[in-house]
Structure 1
Amino acid sequence: MKILHRIAGLIAAAAVVVTTGCAGSAPDVAAYVGPNQISDRDLHEITVAADEVLRTQGQRASSGGVLNGLVLGEIAEQTATQRGIKISDSERDALISPSNLGSLLGNGRTRELAYALADAELVRMRVGDETFLRALGDAEVRLNPRYGTWQPDAYAQGGSMVGAGSESLSLPAPRS
């Protein structure tokens, strides 16, 4: 059950939401993780979809919490690739299904978030806590400043690694 609480905590820990453009990052990119990007559009769409699903369970999804999960999943994917670790959808489903995030599996957009969180936990279980924490610390993560800063040390305390330094932010207008 500790694993399921950690996964749920990764989404719930961040209460940060999005604002419009800030300097230092492409305005349409929420985060860079190594050579990969997480776009604002994807973040917004996944956040809206996850919030709709989780609201039925009395929970909420924030942009910061979703971005935390997506970045964590990207780091896990890169770590898995470097170490030759293969993760199947059935492994992801088995981990997420019994948790309070199991309902995220029923939607294509929210499944991306569920699988990112599952990947992080499955990679952590395979490489061990110390190695996974080192991978988080070594990851090249650049957040768009509107989301705050990347703080990988927060993972060990069960907190969100995204959001420190973002206080007065608001949601962007939906894109057409």
Structure 2
Amino acid sequence: MSLKSTHPVQVTEPQDPVTLQLTSMPPGYLTPSSERIQQPVDSGSKYVYPGTISSDLFKELQCSNGSCDKCCCLAPPPKISDLMNDEDLLYTLRLKLDPSHCTIKNWKNFASRWGMTYDELVLLEHRTQGSAHSPTQEFLRRYNEKSVTELTELCRIYQRIDVLRVLQRWVENDWPSRWQKAH
């Protein structure tokens, strides 16, 4: 089975005969102007919605001072403290960042980059060695006010694509639903 047979392909070259020229269609051909959704116009602190869509519909969807029953707000960028509430994610991060290997960057590199001194690193490593505590989890707890974006940037710097993918998947899929449940 070829890719062409199951997936549509968009042709973007204007000389290609398959490409439909928009100039060849009369104005309003695709959608009559009366049925188009129009961009809201800001008039001070209140939005005005021109056209046929009632402003009551949008008032129902707007959030009022942070909490609402039918929340349409997007989840804010997560912080490491938000990440710390996901046991499955923490377990995966510990598996990837706890092990010491001479050629693979781990929690020590990340913590050092964020300002932990050599003495602090040694103390943390010694304190967590042979115990159930994870040095990765301890380092993340210390920097829990930093954003997950900053953590993903460290993954890029140290070329830890495996950790980067885990974090990106969590931010795109799990974080929005977790935030919705909490708010």
> TM above 0.5, one fold?
no
Q: Which structure is higher in strand share? A: 1
